[in-house]
A and B are shown apart, each in its own frame.
Chain A
Amino acid sequence: MSQLYGKHEVPFSWDSENLSLSVEKDGSVKYKRITGSETVEKDIEMKKNSILIHPIEPLNLPKELTSSLMIELNKPVVVDSGAKKRLYATFPLEIAVFIDTQQNKKPLDIFSLTKQKYTLYGDVNDGTICKYWSSDPQDEPPEDLNYLEEGILELAIENRSKEWQEVHKVVLSAYDMSIFFDDEKVAMSAKMTIREGETSETSVNDKAPFEGMKKASEIYRRKKMPLKGKSMKFMMESGI
């Protein structure tokens, strides 16, 4: 069975339990995607005879409402003062189909096979709407994930506060989100630095957590650069 992620020559088709995708040449190029009860069909005129399918930042569906992703840990992780902890969790995936061009900026289609949910981080007054996901924290990378639905998050936590801390959630910004993929998995690597007052700073590393992975297209960063002077990191000031 071929792999979904990567560059594909037209004609191309993919069929799995909950995804059917085909790009066929019949005069013009016909694109068709079926996920659940949703069917998307498009006629395309393309110069090159290939498409790209990449996992992307999970912040585009059902609509672009936020640039922040919250992953709630199903059980808290306790980190002692001055200690470092590396854990693994999962994150939801969105998949983008691109026409293979030089710029390669605008996706032809974006879809997701995971449940979409939003939440609020912080207060109603000054909080942040986040895309929501929950995951079990694990000491080893989770195995047997469906790489069309979930990716592996490698999270390095460093507690620089004077007390031990319980970590219940992590919020990541899409502005610096780098996602990597290979034939079997999708992954990203992030770090969380806990400071005094149960606040922390999170950022996503521009480095693959596992060897031999390719970097996926970053459509969110290309579309929406943060305002000048605004940090690409996320400051968790309403609890961790």
Chain B
Amino acid sequence: MTLDTIVFGTVTLQDLVLSFIVIFASVMIAKGISIRLKKTLKGKASEDRISVISKFVYILFITAALIVALSILDFRISGLLVAGGFLGIILGFASQSIVSNLISGIFLTFEKPFQVNDVIRLGNENGTVGMVQEIKIISTTVRTFEGVHVRIPNEKVFTGNITNFLENVARRFEYLVGIRYKDDAEEAIKVIKELIDEKPLALKNPAPQVFVEELGNSAVQLRVRVWAPSTDWFQLRMELLREIKKRLEENGIQIPFDQREVWFRNALQTEKEKKGKTK
């Protein structure tokens, strides 16, 4: 048996060996490139993204090798393309959402709107909020603050609004604190600023702001704005308002109830007065 021996149709043993070599070499090269990519990108991108990119390159390489190997074996690529076209249409309809998710996954990998461990909100105000656990090629998984594991198809992620709460290193939160008209607003501002200064997580710069926002119906409204590290802002937000109330009260400054003075044109006769008259 020589290399010219025909195995089937017009395909010789040489063609068969050559196509095997092409596929084998391609697999080896694709693996090599994939490993090299992983090493090159390590530290520059997250593990999930590196995995998606290397898999994509690997599949691309193997597909190209298969086409070359098939042409060596005298497979008519044009015929295959026509057949592939029909098959593509059928599969296209069947797997529309999968392909869409896959492409969205690839775009997400390159655009990087968020990373693993980022806290994000997907969609509008009522959308899913949680910490990103995994970014896969088809879907993204998020753990909500209630501890629920949510898997979201990448198409929904990519085409919807994404709010990344940890993209910036610091974020601001604010309160509206009302004090009585008879309290000294200057003193209240000083007390609140001193309290903020005592809090390590309330950033020195950007500086906090405390100012009179509005002269309301029942209270002088003070606006309090504080910057904190994005990772810890909520903890500070929770404790600071309680402590502002306590510190203001310690300094004799009170947060008033809503109140309204009502004047009557004619003097009112109370129930007590009525009874007195009937007697």
Contact = CB atoms under 8 A, between A and B. Distances in A.
B113 to A, nearest CB: 14
B168 interface: yes
Interface in B242-276: none
A12 interface: no
Contacts of A120: 169-170, 203, 205-206, 227
B147 interface: no
A129 B43 contact: no
B22 interface: no
Contact of A128 (B43, B169, B227): B169
A212 B185 CA distance: 55
Given A65-B229, A228-B43, A118 B169 contact: no
Interface string B163-184: 0000011110000000000000
A114 to B, nearest CB: 11
A227 interface: yes
A124 B170 contact: yes
B168 A125 contact: yes
Interface in A21-64: 62-63
B170 A132 contact: no
B43 A118 contact: no
A65 B231 contact: yes
Contact of B203 (A115, A116, A119): A119
Contacts of B197: 117
A142 interface: no
A129 B169 contact: yes
A62 B204 contact: no
A120 B200 CA distance: 12
Contact of B168 (A63, A117, A124, A228): A124
A115 B204 CA distance: 12
A194 B200 CA distance: 30
B134 to A, nearest CB: 21
Interface residues of B, number: 16
Contacts of A129: 169-170, 203, 229
A119 B206 CA distance: 7
B206 A117 contact: no
Interface string A178-212: 00000000000000000000000000000000000
B232 interface: yes
Contacts of B204: 117-119, 132
Contacts of B205: 119-120
Nearest to B42: A228
B114 to A, nearest CB: 15
Interface-centre pick from A63, A115, A120, A230 (highest chain B CB count, 10 A): A120
Contacts of B168: 124-125
Contacts of A230: 43
A127 interface: yes
Nearest first, the 4 closest Cβ-Cβ pairs linking A and B are: A116-B200, A119-B204, A227-B43, A119-B205
Interface of A: 62-63, 65, 115-120, 124-129, 132, 227-230
8 contacts: A62-B200, A62-B201, A63-B232, A118-B201, A118-B203, A119-B204, A120-B170, A124-B170
